[in-house]
A and B are shown apart, each in its own frame.
Chain A
Amino acid sequence: MTKDFDNLETALRAPEPALADDEFSASVLARLPARRRRIATRRWTLAGAAGLGSALTAVFAPPLGAALASLTPWMIPALAATTLAVLILVMVPGLYFLYAERADR
């Protein structure tokens, strides 16, 4: 039995060298994706999107619905046109919010 053979277990357990960080951490941080917005910002964005959607709906949905109904009276009844207008006006800020959320990840 050789010395190497005897000392295998000891050699395997020898501590590994501690590698100096140098610029390693800095390089990793430089490659991270853009900073996510804080939760408070997200809440304000959500509240703003909801408020904007509501305001746009209140102001523009009835005339937009009427306009849609007058343009295509044979396809969309007035009530359906108004509903469609409401959906569009609510979805635009909502989709913007979802887009912003995804872009953060």
Chain B
Amino acid sequence: MESGTFYNENKANQLRRIKLAVVVFVTFLLQNNSSLFIRPTDVPVMLLVPLIVCIGMFEREKWGMFFGLFAGILVDAFSAESLCFHSIALTCIGFLSGLLITGIFRNNLKTCLLFSSVSIFVYNTVYFLLYYVSAAGIEADYIYINIYFASVIYTFLFVGVFYVIVRAICSKKKD
């Protein structure tokens, strides 16, 4: 009986993680294809960041880290000059989201909104500083405010959607 229960639980975990991987995959395609997702004034949208935060909150630090790595590899593969930035950043975001939920915070929408807003802000700002600030020159502030900061605000609007989706997938998970 015990081994059967363990086997069913393991199978359920695997199925859940496969579903989450598919969600990550589809979100990556939406993020990368401007025709499939509405973008006002061509502001980029970093949908994978809030998604990885949500996954980290539900799956905890180890699987949050793996999903972050998976998402980061996808973005790096089709990114011009990032050289593992997305992989490293999303891996850390997934890990930290899981760690903070394990130790300090409760898993609810408010926490998700807080984590996501900080993550998206730090993610975009660090990316801008690393790859654009020297090239942009005197127009750096204009580019940051009109593109990268605008992207933070626009991406934040979809955090609730991802929380609902991930919660629905992980609702039957037993801790």
Physical interaction between A and B: no
